[in-house]
C-alpha cells in the first residue's frame, strides 16, 4: 500500500512586519482561537522595543537564535532498553522549540511583577536576547543531556 505524501502547510508572513517568525509567534501565543488578541499582544510588545529605539525584529531574531538548541535527544528502543540518542535539530524544529520555550516561560512568570502577558513576553524576549533567563537555561539543559548521551550517537536511525 503506497504511503500518502504529507503536504506541509505554510504560514504566510505577518502583514505588519512581513516576518515569518512574528507570524509564528502570534500563532504560538494564540489561545482558544483568539488570534486577534494574540496579535495585539505581540504587536504591542514589538512596539515597546521600537519606543526604546531598538529594532524589534533584530531583537526577536537574536532571542530566537540564543534559545534554539543545536542538539536534542530522542529515545530509541533497542532490545528491551531505551537509549537517549542525540540528534541534530532541524531548522523548523529549532524555531518551534525556541518560540515555544519563550512563550511557555513568559506564561509561567509571576503576576505580581507583571500586569499583562504583553509585559511578560517583552521581559522574556529581552532576557533571551541577552542570553539570560529560563529559556536559555532550558536550551543549556537540553544540550547538556545530548552531550551526556553522546556515547549512543551510533544508534541513530
Rounded Cα gap, residues 21 and 102, in angstroms: 13
Statement: residue 156 has pLDDT above 80: no
Rounded Cα gap, residues 131 and 147, in angstroms: 20
Q: What angle do CA 120, 126, 129 make, to 5 degrees?
A: 140
Cell numbers describing residue 89? 535539530
Dihedral of CA atoms 65, 69, 71, 77 in degrees, nearest 10, equals: -140
Categorise residue 148: left if φ over 0, alpha if ψ from -120 to 50, beta otherwise. Answer: alpha
SS3 116: coil
DSSP-derived secondary structure for 26-94: HHHH--TT-HHHHHHHHHHHHHHHHHTT--HHHHHHHHHHHH--SEEEEEEEETTEEEEEEEEPPHHHH
Q: Which pLDDT score is estimated for 99? A: 94
Q: Which CATH architecture does the domain made up of 20-155 adopt?
A: Orthogonal Bundle (1.10)
Q: For residue range 21-35, what is the model confidence (pLDDT) as tens digits?
A: 999 999 999 989 899
Rounded Cα gap, residues 123 and 117, in angstroms: 10
Domain range annotation of the chain: 20-155
Q: What is the mean pLDDT of residues 115-140?
A: 93
Higher pLDDT, 113 or 42: 42
Which residue has 512581513 as its cell numbers?
18
pTM above 0.95, yes or no: no
Q: For residue range 72-111, what is the model confidence (pLDDT) as tens digits?
A: 999 988 888 888 889 999 999 999 999 999 999 999 988 8
Cell numbers describing residue 121? 513576553
First-residue to last-residue Cα distance in the chain: 23
Amino acid at each position: 500500500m503506497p504511503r500518502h505524501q504529507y503536504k506541509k502547510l505554510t504560514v504566510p508572513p505577518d502583514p505588519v512586519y512581513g516576518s515569518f517568525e512574528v507570524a509564528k509567534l502570534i500563532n504560538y501565543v494564540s489561545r482558544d482561537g483568539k488570534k486577534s488578541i494574540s496579535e495585539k499582544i505581540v504587536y504591542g510588545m514589538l512596539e515597546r522595543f521600537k519606543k526604546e529605539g531598538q529594532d524589534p525584529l533584530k531583537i526577536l531574531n537574536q532571542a530566537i537564535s540564543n534559545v534554539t538548541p543545536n542538539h536534542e535527544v530522542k529515545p530509541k528502543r533497542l532490545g528491551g532498553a531505551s537509549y537517549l540518542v542525540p540528534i541534530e535539530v532541524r531548522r523548523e524544529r529549532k524555531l518551534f522549540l525556541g518560540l515555544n520555550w519563550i512563550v511557555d516561560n513568559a506564561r509561567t512568570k509571576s503576576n505580581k511583577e507583571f500586569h499583562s502577558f504583553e509585559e511578560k513576553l517583552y521581559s522574556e524576549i529581552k532576557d533571551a536576547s541577552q542570553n539570560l533567563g529560563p529559556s536559555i537555561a532550558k536550551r543549556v539543559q537540553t544540550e547538556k543531556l545530548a552531550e551526556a548521551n553522546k556515547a549512543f550517537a551510533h544508534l541513530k536511525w
